[in-house]
């Protein structure tokens, strides 16, 4: 990975998207459904694209919304549909398009009562609360009405992008069966010139206080009293996203010593520092995108020089969220920005020791490309490890049933159960994980960074990296369907191979690639959904040099398997 020369530096005017031109393109540019990249395609987090490249335009959202209407009807979903958006420029017009289609099709539409931004976890929470009546139905016993939702967001993607994600009645990201059906029908509608899409210019939706309901119940999942009583100083940076109004209300309601360090909302995200590739990206797990918040933690920063700041770093814990607040970034005064894998391991170790109300059999959910430090923590806790393919949707059934207490991804997304063992959200919750860092600090007197150093002292210190390897589209397709028997290697970086996986051990679902494991390291190779490369995730518990050997041999193992 080549890091851009200006990575981590403030954006300049020439880096900013032309918002009026982008909005005009959303309205005026029409995709050609005969061009593959201009069709509706759902990845792990919905359909994403940009109006400038004819991949996220009014036609896409109208067709997708109509397809969701028809999917709901086919599934018998006739309750309210919650609709929210983040702060990307394309999110507001896309929400309007969707609302016109849903209204014309007599869907009971519900939007934010404050006309504000809606974090993905707040929408997931609202769906679960609505469906938690007697019989698990919105409206209570006998109504038969199930709620679902749509959040308009491309998550951490650049300002020119838009995204559209459907959450069914289970509250989590829609599964492959649903998204395939919706995408196929949306593309049929595009091919028909939107014949069959109904729209109404008159919109009169119902209202729901996403912020108030979410914040009011936070003490059911976190020990907010402990955070307040310990006086943990918190700096929260919404990165211009949907959590911007939530942090201040959380601080006021629970009496926290919390400062919103950047309350600005700008659809061009001109206050951001550039990410590793020189693009503006609200990735709260990236040290380049988080450079401003990291700098605020320095003893000599402007925050530290304020009259009421303690000596040294101004905050004990600082946090960031991406644009829809489903991801978290944790910065500690003693350790800087935490690697997401490191924080997941700490969070798991803490929660399973401090949640006596959780089911005794509740397992630990991780994705196949997350750190094996989690495996070691799970074994130490005596809890089942549930390893699934990439995508938070795989954790949804377990979080709903209590079979999983915590589900987390290496890309800084996670959620966990309420203190009584019932589900909180079934989508990633960056606000929740950010506040958990303060609970850990409050109840133990030590930061998550300090706890991670304890873990490495006990279990070893892993070296982890992700790289890209160029390949053809044919090779990508073959890798996604590879059989484990195609791997003939018996050793990896000098160690015997103990497992060759193309299906996840936690649920036997295809991982869409290959994972090779030894006692001291592993690699996983998965085809990219957007570029002609495959991604190699690798980890070693024997240091960076051993990691480099794993990465080198991973390419050879994959090449041999594809050739065979």
- Please identify every residue annotated as catalytic: 155
Tokens standing for residue 550? 């794993």
For 122-167, where are the E strands, in sequence order?
148-152, 161-167
With a CB cutoff of 8 Å and minimum separation 6, the contacts of 153 are 46, 85, 86, 88, 91, 120, 163, 165, 242, 323, 324
Query: Are 309 and 316 contacting, i.e. CB atoms less than 8 angstroms apart?
Result: no
Integer Cα distance of 286 and 555 in angstroms: 26
Query: Are 536 and 524 contacting, i.e. CB atoms less than 8 angstroms apart?
Result: yes
Apex CA 38: angle with CA 34 and CA 276, to 5°? 150
User: How remote is the C-alpha of 168 from its chain's centroid?
Assistant: 17
Q: Which residues pair with 408 in a beta bridge?
A: 366, 414
Distances (CA, A) of 151 to 171, 490, 503: 11, 46, 30
Tokens standing for residue 225? 């009293």
Neighbours of 1 (CB within 10 A): 8
Helix then strand then coil, % of the chain, to nearest 5: 35, 20, 45
Contacts 24+ apart (CB under 8 A), 358-363: 358/402, 358/405, 358/417, 358/421, 359/402, 359/403, 359/405, 359/421, 361/403, 362/402, 362/403, 362/404, 362/405, 362/417, 362/421, 363/398, 363/403, 363/404, 363/405
Apex CA 433: angle with CA 358 and CA 147, to 5°? 75
Phi, psi (deg, nearest 5) at residue 394: -70, -20
With a CB cutoff of 8 Å and minimum separation 6, the contacts of 405 are 351, 352, 355, 358, 359, 362, 363, 364, 383, 416, 417, 421
For residues 128, 131, 135 and 141, what is the CA-based torsion angle, rounded to 10 degrees? 150
Query: Are 154 and 358 contacting, i.e. CB atoms less than 8 angstroms apart?
Result: no
* DSSP assignment of 460-507: ---EEEEEEEE--HHHHHHHHT--GGG----EETTEE--EEEEE-TTT
Distances (CA, A) of 428 to 133, 367, 562: 23, 13, 34
């Amino acid at each position: 990975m080549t890091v851009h020369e200006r990575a981590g530096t403030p954006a300049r005017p020439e880096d900013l998207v032309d918002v009026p031109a982008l909005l005009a393109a959303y309205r005026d540019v029409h995709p050609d459904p005969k061009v593959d990249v201009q069709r509706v395609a759902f990845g792990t987090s919905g359909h994403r694209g940009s109006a400038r490249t004819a991949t996220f335009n009014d036609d896409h959202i109208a067709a997708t919304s109509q397809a969701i209407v028809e999917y709901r009807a086919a599934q018998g979903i006739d309750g309210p549909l919650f609709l929210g958006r983040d702060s990307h420029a394309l999110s507001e017009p896309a929400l309007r398009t969707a609302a016109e289609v849903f209204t014309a099709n007599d869907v009971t539409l519900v939007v934010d009562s404050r006309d504000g931004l809606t974090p993905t976890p707040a929408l997931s929470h609202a769906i679960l609360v609505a469906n938690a009546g007697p019989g698990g139905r919105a409206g209570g016993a006998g109504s038969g009405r199930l709620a679902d939702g749509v959040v308009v967001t491309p998550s951490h993607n650049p300002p020119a992008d838009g995204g559209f994600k459907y959450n069914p009645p289970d509250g989590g990201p829609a599964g492959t069966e649903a998204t395939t059906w919706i995408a196929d029908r949306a593309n049929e509608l595009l091919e028909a010139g939107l014949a069959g899409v109904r729209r109404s210019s008159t919109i009169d939706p119902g209202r729901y206080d996403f912020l108030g309901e979410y914040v009011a119940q936070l003490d059911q999942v976190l020990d907010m009293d402990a955070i307040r009583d310990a006086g943990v100083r918190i700096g929260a940076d919404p990165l211009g996203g949907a959590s911007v109004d939530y942090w201040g209300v959380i601080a006021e309601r629970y009496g926290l010593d919390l400062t919103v360090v950047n309350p600005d909302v700008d659809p061009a995200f001109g206050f951001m520092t550039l990410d590793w590739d020189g693009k503006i990206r609200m990735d709260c797990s990236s040290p380049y995108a988080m450079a401003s918040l990291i700098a605020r933690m320095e003893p000599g920063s402007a925050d530290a020089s304020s009259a009421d700041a303690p000596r040294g770093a101004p905050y004990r814990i600082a946090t960031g969220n991406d644009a829809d607040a489903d991801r978290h970034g944790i910065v500690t005064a003693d350790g800087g920005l935490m690697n997401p894998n490191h924080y997941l391991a700490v969070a798991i170790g803490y929660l399973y020791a401090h949640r006596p109300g959780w089911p005794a059999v509740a397992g630990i959910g991780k994705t196949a490309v997350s750190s094996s430090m989690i495996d070691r923590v799970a074994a130490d806790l005596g809890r089942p490890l549930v390893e699934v393919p990439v995508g938070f949707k795989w954790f949804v059934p377990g979080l709903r049933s209590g079979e999983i207490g915590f589900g987390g991804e290496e890309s800084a997304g996670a959620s966990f159960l309420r203190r009584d063992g019932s589900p909180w959200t079934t989508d990633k919750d960056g606000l929740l994980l950010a506040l958990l860092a303060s609970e850990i600090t409050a109840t133990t007197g030590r930061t998550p960074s300090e706890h991670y150093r304890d873990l490495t002292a006990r279990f070893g210190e892993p070296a982890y990296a992700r790289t890209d390897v160029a390949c053809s589209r044919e090779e990508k397709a073959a890798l996604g369907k590879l059989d484990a028997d195609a791997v003939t290697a018996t050793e990896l970086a000098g160690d015997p191979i103990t497992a060759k996986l193309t299906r996840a051990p936690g649920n036997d679902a295809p991982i869409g690639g290959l994972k090779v494991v030894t006692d001291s390291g592993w690699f996983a190779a998965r085809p990219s959904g957007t570029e002609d490369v495959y991604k190699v995730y690798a980890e070693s518990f024997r240091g960076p040099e051993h990691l480099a050997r794993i990465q080198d041999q991973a390419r050879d193992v994959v090449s041999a398997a594809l050739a065979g």
